[in-house]
Chains A and B, each alone.
Chain A
Amino acid sequence: MENFSYSRPATLRDATAQLGKEHGRVAIIAGGTDLLGEMKDELAAPARLVPVRHLREMQGVRTVGAGLRIGAATPLVDVVENRAVQEQAPLLAMAAVKVGTPAIRNMGTIGGNICQRPRCWYYRNNYPCFKHGGSACFSALGENDFHAILEGGPSFIVHPSDTAPALVALGASARIAGPGGRERIVPLDAFFVTPRQDVRRENVLQPDEILVELQVPNAPAGSRATYVKEMVRETWNFALCSVAAMVTLSNGVVSDVRIVMGGVAPVPYRALKAEAAIRGQRLTETTAAAAGAAAVEGARPLAKNGYKVPLTQATVKRALLSLA
């Protein structure tokens, strides 16, 4: 690990003032569960770390109006155990509890979880890939068992977060602070970027910006939700595929639905075709299977990840059926 300076900002404004315009030179640290690993593996070598966990705006869960405000530096365990989250946005609690291990959920934060870097073996082994500023995706012609089947190219990473699909499904927004007290609110479905939009980054955050808070509308009254995560082993694993599904039934018919998938695309992937397929339908084996098939429409698997197509199909189907 390279040497770095550590400067504790007194306020959010102090924090943004320290960031500068260059990606990677200054790093924001909250739980550090991803960043410190990257620094030890020399994937990241920031000259300065700016801690944000102590900043009041970035801590804790509050109910504001018909929604939740969750500080980006709130530990995942606090999201999981928070009563308001469990009652107003249970899908988020279900997804957050699937992250890593208890140790990681104690240290890791929700903001860090949605901003974590890819788990691609080539990226993590410091190959000169797109993510490291290079001009190739080594997975495309290499070991790609765990890579994208949807929206891939030119990089084929998958978005590793468990909470991101849930937040997208809930229609959450990100409150982002920039220098000089500037702020912007970005809906999460516009927060994540595909490799075609920006091959080096996974979201819209600029180097001098901080994700301060997640604004999560309450789940619609009467809605039901589930988060299903398929893994190689039962714990401490990123998703082979995951599905955050939320439906509202009116007279037994799906009147509103959100289906967002993790682990299959470079971004949390909203399966609009699957939503369209199930909207207005009763939740049956047949309709859920049709939605599953629609969810992977357009999938273009690589040499070794074709299994993710039937796996994702089945996972979407089962997630929906579990809500019937």
Chain B
Amino acid sequence: MAQQVTGQAGQPGGALNVVGRRGPNIDAIDRVTGQAKYTADIELPGMLTARILRSPHAHARVVRIDTSKAEALGGVLSVITYRDAPKVMIWGSRQYVLNDRVRFAGEAVAAVAAVDADTAARALKLISVEYEPLPFVLDPEAALAAGAPQLFEDGNLEGQPRVVNRGDIEQGLKESDHVIARTYRCPTMWSGSLEPHAVVAQWENDRVTLWCSTQSPFRVHANMVAQLGLPDSHIRIIASYVGGGFGTKSAPHVDETIAALLARKARRPVSLRYSREEEILDSNTRFEVKMYIRMGVKKDMTLHALDIRAFINQGAYHTRLGGLGNHATHLYNVPHLRTVQNRVHTNVPNTGPTRGVGDPQECFGLDSAIDEIAVEMGWDPMAFRLKNIKRNGDPIPRAAGGAEDGRLVTQALDRCIEAGASRIEWTRRNQAPNTAQAGPIRRGMGMACTERTGGGGLSGAQVKVFLDGSVIVFYSSTDIGTGSRTTLSMIAAEVLGIPLKSFRTVAGDTEAAPWDGGSQGNRTLQGTGRAVEAAARDALRQILAGAAPLLKATPEELELVGGSIRVKTETARTMTLQQVMERRGRSVVGDGSIAQGQQGTDVERTSAAHFVELDVDTETGKVTVIKYVSVHDVGRPINVTIVENQIEGGTIQGLALTRSEEMRFDPRNGRTLNANFLDLMPPTMMDFDPRAIEAVIIPNEGLAGPFGGKGLGENPCHPGMAAVANAIYNATGIRLREVPFTRGAILRALNDQRPAASRTA
């Protein structure tokens, strides 16, 4: 992938001193000892506590809202309703921060700031709201039917259906030797983080600082500019330590603006912290996807036609970051392709990007169908994939779309598949279901493949070298637990030749660091990492220029190695960095602002193959993962430990989607019934033995990222649902086309499979 990068490109292939090693996070001690300050740790003099009043109705008009009693309560300093809120839609959404019409149960209706949480809670009870309930709809297909309740004047469909065409789908299906038609569904699922959303807002005259738990400070910043109508220089977003994000913090929500409005009205700082229930109802959830898939193959084992008609439940307001991934267009070669994505608004809580966005759902549908058709044809599903995956040099779309106007480079999916098959010993796999059994236990194997873009766009960072030779890396994307403080410091350390122990970071601060797209979509390493590299090169250039007269050499003749500057050809002529900096008498600031994007025809992607071996207890419906091998192309790993942790964590998150985490709505009123950890039942450390998970990194070198690295974070949670569904089939012969694979789903399917006479329920 060609790209515009200010500053030099990396030096892949050169001798590396820091990059490619293992090591702990540089902020690990701060995090575990409580020195790391999260938003909830911020305490300011006179700070108030905010609470939000939420709608009990899935769809209603606010006919009347009376806040006078709440305002009269002692200790209440500000109350806001839709009358105080800007008529400006939130970035990436159709939602006003507060509105006189609510479209999901749990939507904010009013907010209060008071001297303490109890007073704020009492004030909420004193707000009287008269609602006119409206008909609601929860199912995306039902929402498109004639006569369905309408959420918006232009209907429930977000924009136009996204349609991709390649070849002629009907002709392709007709030409196929075998065709299957299947329906797959992933429901609305929780996919959030341990730290709920939190904001602290503080005004100084007409300038506001917001400490936020966000992945994308500059997205929040852009939203605040729009919401508050202030110049961009008047708004500062600080997201220093963030307790996980998984996409739910990649876009702004109502919370930042509500805190800012309350603080402005009260003339005091305001802290707003979501409860767990609020976090589940009003951040964003993994969107429901229903897929109707038709797939055709030729006898020669080629995938010939693929038709996906998808209904994506966007929830009430979400507009921007939904939809399927690019598996259909970018993973397998298929001459006749059509995908139609209907992105539909319904009265379920806000959805949005969560780890993998639509990739896990699309992967579940597509790689389940791949497995199904291979089984029906009597082919090994792995051989079928190897026959049809896109390999280096294969035509591939340069952007999201059907036209294959580019050429795939630096791909390693074939090697991922081969390595995974070898690690799990795919040859041991059942030739037919129910062949490996001991009593009621059935063992089986499954696999699935995935791919994604590595992210890019606009990124920025600065590297400041102090007189003592220590360094701070300033960047305004974030470390949401992905280890970016460490990885980015390692990149700068590699460039500068300064030991890693001399590095600190300032992350997530829009005032301290240049503009950056944020930490989502595999982009922190590939985008911000390149910006840090450029900034470090800029700093190095200045340091060497400063050292040149001192060492009586030209800058080109010098190098910085191990914290010392020396003449390359005469290494005894040397000064320490500290000596040079002290003689220089002022710090060095290197700047790195870059733009990355698809240029030319070379297309780089990042891919993975996952393999699972599991047991299904056919009497209790329990699934136990015996072994899970996650093989990833990450380009060159910058910190091997961090990469392995990302792979393991994402794998477990993918497995979690197979087990529980479905949000359940009351069909009678649209309310979420299980918005807490006890009833959503996310798995714990007890559920998936980490020793059963093997993270494998395929040696490779990318083009777009620093030192040949590729973005990784999203991918590990994509294939779990498909791999597990395929393994459950291989074990038992039951095909689960809806997640999660609960005890109920498994026992029901097993029971349906038995002869009627022996059924038990």
Contacts of A182 in B (CB 8 A): none
Candidates B621, B668, B684, B761; contact of A234 at CB < 8 Å: B684
Tell me if B678 counts as interface (CB < 8 A to partner A). Answer: yes
Our pick among A234, A299, A307 for the contact of B686 (Cβ within 8 Å) is A234
Whether B168 is near chain A, meaning CB under 8 Å from some CB there, is: no
Q: Cβ of B760 and Cβ of A121 under 8 Å apart?
A: no
Report the separation of the CA atoms of residues A124 and B680 in the bound assembly, to the nearest whole angstrom: 14
Chain A residue contacts of B425, Cβ below 8 A: none
Q: Given A122-B673, A309-B761, A310-B619, are A233 and B747 neighbors across the interface (CB < 8 Å)?
A: no
Interface string of A286-316 (1 = CB under 8 A from B): 0000000000000101001111011101110
How far is B660's CA from A232's CA once the two chains are assembled, in angstroms? Answer: 8
Whether a CB of chain B sits under 8 angstroms from the CB of A125 is yes
In the complex, the answer to whether B619 meets A240 with C-beta atoms within 8 Å is: no
Taking the closest CB of chain A, its distance from the CB of B441, in whole angstroms, is 12
The distance from the CB of A230 to the nearest CB of chain B, in whole angstroms, is: 6
Query: Does A128 have its Cβ within 8 Å of any Cβ on chain B?
Result: no
Number of B residues contacting the other chain (C-beta, 8 Å)?
33
Please measure, in the bound complex, the distance between the C-alpha atom of A14 and the C-alpha atom of B440, giving whole angstroms. 57
Chain A's closest residue to B684 (CB) is A235
A233–B620 CB distance below 8 A:
no
B556 within 8 A of A: no
Query: Which secondary structure dominates where chain B touches chain A?
Result: loop
Does A220 reach chain B (CB closer than 8 Å)? no
Say yes or no: B673 contacts A121, CB within 8 Å: yes
- Could you tell me the distance between the alpha carbons of A261 and B99 in the complex, rounded to whole angstroms? 50
- Supposing A143-B664, A145-B744 touch, asked if A125 and B687 sit within 8 A by C-beta, the answer is no
A233 touches B660 (CB 8 A): yes
Contact with A along B103-123 (1 / 0, CB 8 A): 000000000000000100100
Among the listed A124, A142, A315, which residue makes an inter-chain contact with B666, where contact means beta carbons less than 8 Å apart?
A142
Which among A310, A313, A315 has the highest number of chain B CB atoms within 10 Å? A310
Contact of B748 among A307, A314, A317 (CB under 8 A): A307
Q: Is A6's beta carbon under 8 Å from chain B?
A: no
Q: How far is the CB of A63 from chain B (nearest CB, A)?
A: 34
The answer to whether A233 and B659 touch across the interface, beta carbons within 8 angstroms, is yes
Distance to closest chain B CB from A318 (angstroms): 8
Asked if residues B744 and A307 are in contact (CB atoms below 8 Å), the reply is yes
Answer whether residue B86 sits at the interface, using C-beta atoms and an 8 A cutoff: no
Q: Is B176 an interface residue (CB 8 A)?
A: no
- Residues in B with CB closer than 8 Å to A235 are 684, 686
State the interface size on chain A (CB cutoff 8 A).
32
> Is B687 within 8 A of A314, CB to CB?
no
- B residues near A138, Cβ cutoff 8 Å: 666, 668
Q: Is A237 interfacial (CB-CB < 8 Å)? A: yes
Q: Which A residues are in CB contact (< 8 Å) with B622?
A: 230
With a cutoff of 8 Å between Cβ atoms, the chain A residues found around residue B664 in the complex are 121, 143
Q: CB-defined interface of A1-16 with B at 8 Å, one 1/0 digit per residue?
A: 1000000000000000
Contact A307 B761 (CB under 8 A): yes
Nearest to B439 among chain A residues (CB) is A285
Q: Are A305 and B744 in contact (CB under 8 A)?
A: yes
Q: A142 to B682, alpha carbons, bound, how many Å?
A: 22
Q: Does A121 lie within 8 Å of B674, measured CB to CB?
A: yes
* Per-residue contact bits, chain A 108-135, to B (CB 8 Å; 1 contact, 0 not): 0000000000010110110000000000
Q: Which residues of A contact B687 (CB under 8 A)?
A: 233-234
Also in contact, A232 and B681, with CB within 8 A (given A307-B621, A315-B620): yes
Among A119, A237, A304, A305, the most chain B Cβ lie within 10 Å of the Cβ of A237
- Shortest beta-carbon contacts, A-B, top 6: A314-B619, A234-B686, A307-B747, A309-B761, A307-B744, A306-B761
| A-B pairs with beta carbons under 8 Å apart, 22 shown | A1-B121, A119-B678, A121-B664, A121-B673, A125-B673, A142-B666, A142-B667, A145-B742, A232-B681, A233-B660, A235-B684, A301-B761, A305-B744, A307-B742, A310-B619, A310-B751, A310-B760, A311-B743, A313-B619, A314-B440, A314-B620, A315-B620
